[in-house]
Chains A and B, each alone.
Chain A
């Protein structure tokens, strides 16, 4: 096992210093942000590490790990809402989306015995699931609202021809889902060639054999792909329901706040 220790962490602060020096030299005005970001990252990670250490003590109930998962889902949903404020009802939708995704992905991983269910596996896997589907969840919501707003004439022309709301929305739902899913598919394709992903790198650094690390990584990639597909579908269908009335009218859609 590699153990970098506190001195190792302190030395790696040199990298932060490089960034700060660059900011000062080129007058980017970012030195305070960089220092703040680095300090925050350290504090958050250390706090999480300490918490995990407590949870991983033998005899700790797995209920605490489930509680952790629930808190992650709530925080992720709040983040999704704050990044796409123009999407109506997004907090509830995101909660539902991550909930569905957790049920599906964790159900498969633990139900079929891919991983053994315990505190040590549950928290990181749920974290990977939530963390990696967050961006796509935001993207699908934003994109669908934008499509339905910008192509309102087209959508209403479909409705005026007697198409029910779900059919009239279909081309735009499809476009939004494709936009949200394609980056994840590309990442999945490029894995190993361009990027050595985090889970695998972490395991290798910690001394696990590369082949074992790769197997874990592959299953994590598939987990993320399934999760992204689930959360984006739930959000897309939810936004669609939200923007059309039961009598097949498209509601007025407010514009995105400018400056984002």
Chain B
């Protein structure tokens, strides 16, 4: 898996996309095989430190029932006002959001707060698990832009989706997962040319 850019993980539902993601920050442990991060088996790393280097945003927004500032403090207890407004800015929100109650935000805003919260830990990689599935099309486009801008700032993004149009919009690299196995891995450019028949049939049928 490339260590930069936006890598999109696609595959039929139930194929193991989310599980693959959850193995990357050790919310789950693989029954077989290993996950390497920068050459180290993640099973040998301190899970708490690993999770701060490999952040995660979930399918449904998970705001904690408190202010946005308190949400950031869960990620970084000693976060300064300046740092807090900076991560808000990175997700395209005004500093005024710091005092808003996180559970009263719209789905899209809440999802941005969850991303900002993750960015507060200064991750090298952000895992995004179908983060646009519960937001409207405008917010979806916004989150896609955020993924692109994160990768341009050197934060690698691993983005799970079953939406192939979305994949084409944001991917630098593509992983196709079918039946719990990686059926294909390449750059988006080489996708059509290199695809095996089973991958090709997934790519055409899924549309």
Q: Which residues of A contact B (CB under 8 A)?
A: 153-154, 156-164, 171, 247-250
Contact = CB atoms under 8 A, between A and B. Distances in A.
Given A160-B25, A249-B28, A153 B118 contact: no
Contacts of A247: 26, 29, 47
Contacts of B51: 159-162
A158 B64 contact: yes
B143 interface: no
B48 A160 contact: no
Contact of A153 (B29, B47, B60): B60
**Main SS at interface, chain B:** mixed
A170 to B, nearest CB: 11
Interface residues of B, number: 22
B26 A158 contact: no
Contacts of B64: 154, 157-158, 171
28 contacts: A153-B58, A153-B60, A154-B62, A156-B58, A156-B62, A157-B58, A157-B62, A157-B64, A157-B114, A159-B51, A160-B27, A160-B58, A160-B118, A161-B55, A161-B74, A161-B117, A161-B118, A161-B121, A162-B75, A162-B121, A163-B74, A164-B48, A171-B64, A247-B26, A248-B26, A248-B48, A249-B29, A249-B47
B52 interface: yes
A207 B175 CA distance: 82
A161 to B, nearest CB: 5
A187 B38 CA distance: 58
A164 B48 CA distance: 7
Nearest to A153: B62
Interface in B90-136: 114, 117-118, 121
Given A249-B29, A250-B27, 12 more contacts: A156-B27, A160-B27, A161-B75, A161-B118, A162-B51, A162-B52, A163-B48, A247-B26, A247-B29, A248-B26, A248-B47, A249-B28
A249 B50 CA distance: 13
Contacts of A158: 64, 74
Contacts of B25: 160
Contacts of B26: 247-249
Nearest to B60: A153
Interface in B161-183: none
B49 interface: yes
A156 B56 CA distance: 10
A86 B53 CA distance: 35
Interface in B58-72: 58, 60, 62, 64
Interface centre among A153, A162, A247, A249 (most CB of B within 10 A): A162
A157 B29 CA distance: 17
A247 B60 CA distance: 24
